Structure 1
Amino acid sequence: MSVSTHVVSIPLLRLQLTIRNRKDFLAGLLFAGAGLFFLVVAHGYTLGTASRMGPGFFPFWVGAILALFGLVIAAQSLSARAEVKALPSWHWRGLGWVLGSAAAFGALLESAGLVCSLGVLVALASRASEDFSWRAAAGTAAAIVGISLVVFVWLLKVEIPTWPAILFG
């Protein structure tokens, strides 16, 4: 497969852009778009000040920083010094495992509890890796379950089912 640059013309601005690194360009546009989305959503809330933050303060600044990073990344992909790199093909199998694991977690959380739901999430998401092993998935699941229990259940006292309701009613 030959890798080449991609030229985009914007006639309205009489501008011609040479995209050398499509992956970075599209990632930058994605970040900038997400940042602009957060800026628009935060616009409907009170910002407040740094000492008395309103509900829109955090999403506004996260959106602004994300949009700025996205624009910088996209601009760097246009630079003559940027590595010429094509957009890699999608790994649909891995994407399916990761999205499926998130859906399974959401569907199981209320009935199966945090411990079991996180175990399913990690087991399914780990299948997306080319180097999948059950031993690594079990270790990762144990670590994530332990950290989540400490942070969400014991420290933050989030009222979330920990175990399946059928076992501990």
Structure 2
Amino acid sequence: MTIHTSVREYSAAAVVVAFGVGLASVSATYPLGSMFRPGPGFVPLGIGCLIALLGLVIAAETWVGSRRTDEGPADEGMSGPDVFAWRSALSVAIGMVAFAALVDRAGYVPATIALVFISSLGEARRNWWAVGFVAAFMALFGSLLFIWGLGLPVNTIGPR
């Protein structure tokens, strides 16, 4: 990994951490409530903390990746350090649009599976078994959390 790439990745991690900390600090000024009766600041505080944690994970991944000398650069297959990953960005955006279009018509489970499989098309090398496992896990976990746990008015399978 070159110094330019390393500085860029550490800078990106720092921006993500700063955004998460900023979101958490602003949301802490709102009433938090309790776990069973959350206030308006409860969810933004949790999301801010998760975003900050994600930034720390990005920094740790960059650090571990820079310690490996036997592997090639992280950008292999790209023509330069400033190439934007259009394929990945488009596949994730199309996956989100497909989820939004399918969730009311087909249900949460098929929409989530479509989202995961369409988004995985942005990865150059993918393992279809792993993608299928992630899709099944996200559909099951999301159904348990959002539909049965939080009472989201969406069917698991079939139109609403």
Above 0.5 in TM-score?
yes
Identity of aligned residues (%): 30
* C-alpha displacement of 1:93: 0.8
Q: Is the 8 A contact 2:16 2:51 kept in 1?
A: no
Q: Which has the higher strand share?
A: 1
* C-alpha displacement of 1:61: 7.1
Q: State TM-score, norm by structure 1.
A: 0.58
- Distance in 2 (CA, whole Å) between partners of 1:28 and 1:116 is 36
Cα deviation digits, residues 94-115 of structure 1 (max 9, x gap):
1221222122212321122112
Q: Is the 8 A contact 2:20 2:49 kept in 1?
A: no
1:117 pairs with 108, 111, 130, which one?
Answer: 111
1:24 pairs with 10, 13, 17, which one?
Answer: 10
Match of 2:120 in 1: 126
Instruction: Report 1:1-169 matches (<5 A).
Output: 3-4=2-3, 21-43=7-29, 45-47=30-32, 54-56=39-41, 59-60=44-45, 63=48, 89-165=83-159
- Distance in 1 (CA, whole Å) between partners of 2:100 and 2:10 is 31
* C-alpha displacement of 1:23: 1.1
Q: State TM-score, norm by structure 2.
A: 0.60
- Distance in 1 (CA, whole Å) between partners of 2:46 and 2:112 is 31
- The change in CA–CA distance for 1:163 and 1:70 in structure 2 (over 3 A counts) is closer
Structure 1's unaligned 5+ residue stretches are 6-19
Larger Rg: 1
- Distance in 2 (CA, whole Å) between partners of 1:69 and 1:142 is 23
Give aligned pairs, total.
Answer: 142
